[in-house]
Amino acid sequence: MVDAEKITVDDIRKLLAKMSLKSASGNYKIIIIDNANRLNLSSQNVLLKTLEEPKGKAIIILVASGGETLLPTIISRCVKINFNLVPYKEMKQLPSADTAGGRPGLAYDMSNPDSMYRQWRQSAEDFLRMPLYQRLSFIDELVKEAKKNKEQKSEENDTIQGLILMWRILISDRLHNALRMNGKTRPPTAYTKALRALAETEIMLQENINKTLALQHFALSF
């Protein structure tokens, strides 16, 4: 199983090398690539060759929060299974259900008072309320902190990815509310524009475009 902040070419090559080994039991080998939306373009191209010409008894499962960052050629070679968000009425008994955006696992994570998810959600909410100049300043500090953590080889969770998740949840919730209100509070297009910019920001980050520029792209969208 692969699950990392960024899934590199080397990660995929190592995984495929293991897949080429014969199973001791002779059964199928199952490979799970979690957060497959973090595959960069080069690693996707390496994986694509295997998807085009699969060998042996192996099953590759790509788990992604969205397909925006995956190559169409990869998506076309997969059997797509959608896991929809869980309706609130079905998970309202879970702790933090009202802030988890239909994600039961996230609800449990956020129920922990020390959870980074709780901090990320608060920061994400604050960010969306900020005027533009404060959002840009926030991004500068965020990128500086991310760089410092990388240099120190910090094992803390990835704050940028955490904020992106929370921004997606918060903006999606606001979009649904706007649709229910028939756009009386704010036009739904304002939220769809922000969600589109957020997806584009993720792609830019995957392609190693300057983090500040990528995040500013999102900040300027609303």
Q: What is the CATH number of the domain that holds 36?
A: 3.40.50.300
d(CA 136, CA 213) in angstroms, rounded, equals 10
Direct distance between the N- and C-terminal alpha carbons of the chain, in angstroms, rounded to an integer: 37
Q: Is residue 206 part of a domain?
A: yes
* pLDDT the model gives residue 201: 93
Last residue of a domain, one of 75, 107, 129: 75
Q: Is residue 22 part of a domain?
A: yes
* pLDDT the model gives residue 140: 96
Helix/strand/coil for 179 = helix
> 58 - beta bridge partners?
29
Do 67 and 121 reside in the same domain of the chain? Answer: no
Determine the angle formed by the axes of helices 41-52 and 9-19, rounding to 10 degrees.
20
Q: Is residue 92 part of a domain?
A: no
d(CA 222, CA 211) in angstroms, rounded, equals 19
Do 213 and 120 reside in the same domain of the chain? Answer: yes
Q: Is residue 86 part of a domain?
A: no
Each residue's pLDDT expressed in tens, for the chain with a length of 222 residues: 555 556 788 888 888 888 777 767 777 888 888 888 778 888 899 999 888 877 777 888 998 876 777 888 999 999 988 888 888 788 878 877 777 878 887 887 778 877 888 889 899 999 999 999 999 999 999 999 888 776 655 544 478 988 998 999 899 888 887 887 775 667 788 899 999 999 899 888 877 789 999 999 999 998
d(CA 114, CA 111) in angstroms, rounded, equals 9
For residue 39, give Cα distances in angstroms to 3, 132, 140.
10, 31, 25
Do 198 and 149 reside in the same domain of the chain? Answer: yes
Residue with tokens 């060998």: 55
Helix/strand/coil for 30 = strand
pTM for the full predicted model: 0.69
Which DSSP string do the residues of 86-134 spell out, in sequence order? Answer: PPHHHHTTSTTGGGTTT-HHHHHHHTSTT-HHHHHHHHHHHHHHS-HHH
Do 119 and 214 reside in the same domain of the chain? Answer: yes
Do 121 and 174 reside in the same domain of the chain? Answer: yes
Rounded to whole angstroms, the maximal C-alpha distance in the chain is 62
- Total count of domains within the chain: 2
Do 206 and 121 reside in the same domain of the chain? Answer: yes
Do 142 and 209 reside in the same domain of the chain? Answer: yes
* pLDDT the model gives residue 184: 60
Do 212 and 163 reside in the same domain of the chain? Answer: yes
Domain that holds residue 204: 115-219
Q: Is residue 104 part of a domain?
A: no
Last residue of a domain, one of 44, 75, 106: 75
